[in-house]
Amino acid sequence: MKIIEFFGPPCCGKTYVCNYLKKKNKSIILSNYLIHEYAKNFIKLSYIEKISLKYMLFVKNFKKFSVKKTKNLNSNLRKLKINKKNFNNKYSSYLFNKYLLVSKKIFFLYKRKNPLLVNFVSREINQIKDKDKKLIFKRWFIELFAQFYIAKKLKSNKIILFDEGFLQRSLFLVNKNKINKIKLLKYLNLIDRADYYIYLDKKSDILSKRSISRQKSEKNVFIYRDKKQINKYKTIFKNILKNMEK
């Protein structure tokens, strides 16, 4: 099993490249599907947990389809795209929470393996004052820890691609567009390393256009405020790249 992680400033094309490579190579697994497809290899799943994994996989594929086919959808499918908010009901919330429970079970397996990293990340996230951001980061890392545990333990000759791995998630250390270099170095020393890293970047104008496009299509909650912020994020990832090369 080989693990490849892509990293770089938001909107640089990490997910696009991963999806493109997946289409060209059947031996590739995308990290976003690891929990859905391989959780059963590591923990015992209840019947409702199995359903939740299949449901979340359906939602993921539905959103991917609706974004990809927007220009070609007929009126009925366009309505279906608009009404995808119907997924946000008590039943889908219940299944989503079950999915999170599955992720947490595997997360605890990872915690036994690398408690120093988990404790470090938990302390830093708990210091975030914004409750919404804190919740988002917690969910991100629960999934990431679970995904990486599966990636490391899965016995296969396939290749796993991470478009949102440990390096990308280092953005949780950013405070007012600045990153604490001491904490970043500690974080980089604690993370489990992928086999290969690929750094992606684009010109500021391209990143800005992609950010605006994502905002309009609601594909991504993150958008750049201005070019100044873009340049700061580019600098952050260049510093991460330098530290990884040492």
User: Strands, DSSP E only, in the chain?
Assistant: 2-7, 28-30, 159-162, 174-175, 178-179, 196-199
Cα dist from 177 to 75, 167, 237, whole Å: 42, 16, 12
Q: Rounded to whole angstroms, how far apart are CA atoms 149 and 129? A: 29
Report the pLDDT value the prediction gives residue 63, as an integer from 0 to 100: 59
- pTM (two decimals): 0.85
pLDDT digits (tens, 9 = 90+) for 194-221: 999 999 999 999 999 888 887 766 554 5
Out of 42-56, 69-83, 196-210, 227-241, least confident range = 69-83
Report the pLDDT value the prediction gives residue 59, as an integer from 0 to 100: 82
Structural domains in the chain plus CATH codes: 1-27+157-246 (3.40.50.300), 32-154 (no CATH)
End-to-end CA distance of the chain: 25
